[in-house]
Structure formats: C-alpha cells, structure tokens
Amino acid sequence: MNFLENENLSLIAQSARDFAKQYIQPNIMEWDEAQTFPVEIFKELGKMGFMGIVVPEEYGGSGLSYDEYVSIVDEISQVDPSIGLSVAAHNSLCTNHILEFGNEEQKQRWLPKLATAEWIGAWGLTEHNTGSDAGGMSTTAVKDGDEWIINGAKNFITHAISGDVAVVMTRTGEKGAKNNATAFVIEKGTPGFSSGKKENKLGMRASETAELIFDNVRVSDANRLGNVGDGFKQALKVLDGGRISIAALSLGIAKGAYKAALKYAQERHQFGTAIANFQAINFKLAEMITEIEASELLIRKASYLKNHKKPMTTEGAMAKYYASEACVKISNEAVQIFGGYGYTKDFPVEKFYRDSKLCTIGEGTTEIQKLVIGRNILKD
C-alpha cells in the first residue's frame, strides 16, 4: 500500500471538492428541509464521471479504482452526506451489481445509461419483515415460460421513486432454503412496478428513500442476473463493496464535522482565549482527528484489497464498523464543542449529527459487521 496520494487522485478529489462547494453547498438546508432529491445535480455528477466511477470506459464509465471512488464520496459527504449517500448507492449497489454479475448484453444494455446518470439506479434487498434476514424474503419470482412474475415489496430503498431502473433480489425457492434468491433488473414503467410512500427521515433527507412495490410484474428471463439461486451470493459480494461506500460516507461526515468544530473552537473565545486552547476541547479535537485517521487507514486497506481482487469481506466490515461508529461519535462531539449553537440549524454540525446515524444502520448494521468479523476470525 502506498500512503502517498498521487497527482491523479489529488486532482479528482479537488474536482469533487470544487463541485460540492459550487453546486451542493448553497442548497444544503433547502434540500434538507423540503426533502428534495435533486435529480439535476446527479445528472451533472454524471457529466463529471462520478456516477460510473469504477465502470470501465467501454461501458461509458470513468474506469477508475476504489481509491478514487472513496475520495469522491468522502469529498462530497464533507459538504452534504445525503448527496454522498446517493452517489454511493447508485455506484456501488445497482450499477456495480450489473457490472459484476451481468452478461455482456446486459452490461451494454444498462451500464452506459447508469454510468452517465441518464438513468438513476436503485437496489432492492431489504423488506419490512426481514431486515438482515434476507433468506426469509417475501418478494417472490415465479417462472412462467420465458418470463418471471414478481410479487412483493421492498422498503428503505434509495431512489425508489426517482430511479429509472432497479436491481431487485427475489425469492425463487423456499423460505430459509439455501440458494433461494435470484436477482432481476426491472425498468421503470414496467406494468405493476411502482413506488410507495417516501420515508420522512431523521437525516439524509435529500437522499430519497421509499418502497418498491411489485404487483404481478412480468420481466423477461433476459433481465435475470446470473444463475437462478445465486442472488444472495451476489448480494453479499455487492455489499462487500457497499461497506467501503458507507465507510467512505462516514469518513466524509467525520471530516466535515471535525473541520467545522476545529474552526469554531479557534474562533470562539472565552476567558480571554480561544476555546481550542482549553484542554477539554483540545483533547476532544485530538481524539476526533485520530479516529478519522484510523478510519481512513482501514478504508484504504479495504480499497486496496478490492482493487487487487483479493478477499476483503473482513476488512470491509471492519472499515464500515469502525468508521460509522466513529462518525457518530465525532459528530456528537462537534455539537458539544459548538454548545448551544450546535443545536441550531444556523451551523452545519447539527446536520452532520443527524446524518451520521444512518451509517451505523444502512448496508448492514454495526451488529451485523461484528457478526461478519467474529465469524471470519474463527475461520483463520
């Protein structure tokens, strides 16, 4: 692993930083208050190449590595985590699932539209009664000639309303049986395919979250990704990369909260000196930056392994677990440093605080990450 940032990575990070400052920062609270999903911003991000970051150029993507991907999500999330979340979900879930498991015809059919953000992507695994128990899914796909009939619903789905296409996990076997899930790509406008109510969330409010509903949805067998029964195995591999995404999102939140707290602590004076000089505040800042550095090291290691196609399930879980818990703690401490002002919407830390909590829940809770890590260390 090379810890020296190369010129290309620096330039890409700077372009993401500049974009976020110019196009995202002026609208943060307006989007948050109204729960606006700014589709036009994602079209612009598509022009930048940020909606198909790891997609090869032959499919309209940028052909970059997970190093650049982490930096882009990090930089955007330092400004508005909800936009960072949607960039991450589009790239690592829907788009990456097709990239990893689609055949050549499927890649040519969907990836160019996703990589340029002509289409926004969604990914459906979670259901109302299953959560982490994906083997007990109620959404079913039944073969009927050359087609499949899909019935059921998914909840907490990013881009469920505005998405143009979704990769959806369905149950094609008995509940609890092995190899009982199969993935399908379903396009918006397919009869019977609709979205439900938009969730009114604590944070990440500019990232759209809603239900996906399937009422006798017919899709061609050509929309099936991989073999029948391989859906859950595919989903686990997709979530390995997704953990890097949420870790990068967490890193951006932590950095954004820390930078705001550091600036405020240097400007705020009490008893004739900046509060940053008080040991209580200084120690908080020292702990915050140390946890940020530790988070980034874990993330960069997982990214290195991912880039080199090495096993990284444990490392991805560690990065996601540590970085997500750290960002909640750091955001909390940032509010504390701001004092009463941190509790108002005039300063950015209250939003970082609200947004941070999702990182310990989405794409596998902290408890699931510990389960993954714990099981794997016993295999070694």
Give me the active site residues, please.
363
Residues 7 and 33: their CA atoms lie apart, in Å, by 38
Residues 126 and 169: their CA atoms lie apart, in Å, by 9
Q: Residue 183 corresponds to which amino acid?
A: A
Residues 371 and 292: their CA atoms lie apart, in Å, by 23
User: Could you tell me which residues come within 8 angstroms of residue 178 by beta carbon, excluding any fewer than 6 positions away?
Assistant: none
Residues 248 and 245: their CA atoms lie apart, in Å, by 5
- φ and ψ at 227, to 5 degrees? -80, 155
The DSSP code for 272 is T
> 202: helix, coil or strand?
coil
250: nearest Cα among 32, 132, 9, 84: 84
